[in-house]
Amino acid sequence: MQFRINTPPIIYEILDGEAVILNLDKGIYYSLNEVGKEIWRQIGAHYTWQEMVDSFHSDQGEEFVKNGVLAFLTQLEEEKIIVEDKNDSVREKLTKKPFNTPHLQIYHDMKDLLLLDPIHEVDQAGWPVAP
Amino acid sequence: MKWIRQDGPLRPEAFFEILYAKFQEVAPNPSPYFIGINNKKIKLLFANDLFLKHFTPALEHLRMDDCETELTICLWDSHSTGSTMPAPPWTHDDYLPRGGIRGWENERFSISFQLGSSILSFYDKERNIALFWTSDLRTIPYWERGAPLLAILQWWGEQQGGSIIHAGAVGTKEGGVLLVGKGGSGKSTTALSSLNSSLFYAADDYCFVSKEVWSLYTSAKVDWKTLKKLPHLNPPPETNEEKALLFLYPTWKERLVAHFPLRAIFIPRIAQETKLIPCSAAEALIALAPSTMFQLPRASKRAFETMANLTRSIPAYYLNLGPNIPEVSETIAEFVNDQCHYSGV
């Protein structure tokens, strides 16, 4: 299974290897730890989840890596940051990297800014009137 | 309540013409007002002097004489013009967060309706004409009077290759810094305390960045408790509004600066002592971008890219704010002077 970044509601920039991700529909923003950033890069390059798992190694074994990667992808899907997508583009073989649990830092402190004001009244022409 | 619809979908182009014609009908002799931002000139055409006087205090420092302009904004309200507005050709369900209207933006037109303030903004990028309408100018909230025309200036600014950002800005004519972060971080206190220092003030809440930072408004929105720490501002009596709205022009005219080159991004935070601590570009973008993107009506991906490029191009620091307010301004001034000296300015 492959994924893509859920643009346009999701916008992101990579600065010096760090990812800053905004969800314009929800008013939530995110950052990623080191392994999370690598998986993010692999999502953008259309690697399958199995290829992602195979690209990491851990003293705690393959199952640990697999569970960590899948849990992270599930979290990204639940946040609607990524969606499933098929892509047949050529993908280079990945070099194995050390694995620790990928982490998505979620910031909710601004989501109230996106709350839609309720429409209480409208004028005769149908324009909402300020509360 | 019945929504009036034409047969078939009404296109943005057609509705813009309907509203533009309405403005010309209600304002046969509009009151003109000229301002300059980013070396560009903008003409505001107010339906009447009443609207002009009510809406321009925050822009007064940008005022220019009559001139050729690159953008024209037509402003009116139904109440003071005794007019009625054509019905909106969309439904309640079409209103989106950040002022969006589903299906009503395209390559040429940008549109926004702010439900909280009942303000319509509509921009034709091809002709550089924008429309600003509200039902009654007396009901424009204080925060809109403090930062007027944000949506229109944002859309126009993106076309200029820049962006409005949620940031304070202080410095000298040779250079200065942005103050970024969400509300309560000390941004406003830091910006306003500069008025009582060797620094000059460009912004408290919003400014425009392209190659330099440009002042947009002389207003400052400050909560009443913070205002007590800034006695040099001669705080007005407290009202029921959540924050005080101050207009710094013309009282502080000599301490205001229209624009300066950017030297750094500062992220204020309350601390035990005042000092600067370097931080990453990603930390600066996290402090700057979310509040800008989520507050500015209809800010686009282009604005985010502008902010990301900004954080890549200049250094960023946490500005730890100790209890001694004058020391904060001195720290910023020292940094700016050092940077300008280093740059050979």
Closest listed residue to residue B132, CA positions, set B76, B79, B90:
B76
Of A66-75, B13-22, B217-226, B310-319, minimum mean pLDDT range: B217-226
Task: Give which of A7, A16, A24, A37 to mutate to test B binding, by max B Cβ within 10 Å.
Answer: A24
Mean pLDDT of B286-306: 90
Size of interface A-B (CB pairs under 8 A): 102
Q: Which strands form B200-203's sheet, in the order they lie side by side?
A: B200-203, B168-172, B175-179, B262-270, B316-321, B275-279
Residue B285 and residue A115: Cβ atoms within 8 Å?
no
pLDDT of residue B230: 85
Residue A125 is nearest to which of B87, B97, B98, comparing CB atoms? B87
CB-CB contact of B295 with A113 (8 Å): yes
Give the residues across from B171 on adjacent strands. Answer: B176, B200
DSSP 8-state secondary structure symbol assigned to residue B345: -
Closest listed residue to residue B120, CA positions, set B48, B31, B241, B20:
B20
Cβ contacts of A111 on chain B, cutoff 8 Å: 294
> What's the CA dihedral at B144, B146, B149, B151 to 10 degrees?
-70
Distance from CA of B12 to the nearest CA of A (A): 17
User: Chain A residue with minimal CA distance to B133?
Assistant: A127
pLDDT of residue B222: 86
Distance of alpha carbon B229 from the chain centroid? 25
> In this structure, are strands A82-84 and A56-57 parallel, antiparallel, or unpaired?
unpaired
User: Chain B residue with minimal CA distance to A116?
Assistant: B97
Distance from CA of A62 to the nearest CA of B (A): 32
Q: B82-106 burial, b for 16+ CB within 10 Å, e for fewer?
A: ebebebbbbeeeebbbbbbbeebbe
Neighbours of A98 (CB within 10 A): 10
- Model confidence pLDDT, tens digit, residues A83-123: 998 887 778 888 999 999 999 999 998 888 776 666 768 88
Distance from CA of A104 to the nearest CA of B (A): 14
Residue B294 and residue A110: Cβ atoms within 8 Å?
yes
Interface of B with A (CB under 8 A): 1-4, 84-88, 92, 95-98, 113, 115-118, 120, 135, 139, 141, 182, 280-282, 285-286, 289-291, 293-295, 301, 304-305, 308, 311-312
ipTM entry: 0.88
A128 touches chain B (CB under 8 A): yes
φ, ψ of residue B205 to 5 degrees: the values are -130, -45
Closest listed residue to residue A112, CA positions, set A28, A6, A29:
A28
Residue A130 is nearest to which of B84, B97, B118, comparing CB atoms? B118
Assess whether pLDDT exceeds 50 at residue B94.
Answer: yes
Residue A123 and residue B1: Cβ atoms within 8 Å?
no
pLDDT of residue A118: 67
- Rounded Cα–Cα distance for residues B324 and B337 (Å): 20
User: Chain A residue with minimal CA distance to B308?
Assistant: A13
- B240 vs B269: which has the higher pLDDT: B269
Identify the H or E element spanning A37. Answer: helix A34-44
Mean pLDDT of B177-198: 91
The DSSP line for B65-79 is -S---SEEEEEEEHH
pLDDT of residue B116: 82
- Rounded Cα–Cα distance for residues B154 and B150 (Å): 6
Distance from CA of B202 to the nearest CA of A (A): 25
Cβ contacts of B183 on chain A, cutoff 8 Å: none
The alpha carbons of chain A give a radius of gyration, in whole angstroms, of 19
- Rounded Cα–Cα distance for residues B55 and B140 (Å): 9
The alpha carbons of chain B give a radius of gyration, in whole angstroms, of 21
pLDDT of residue A116: 66
Of A49-63, A109-123, B49-63, B200-214, minimum mean pLDDT range: A109-123
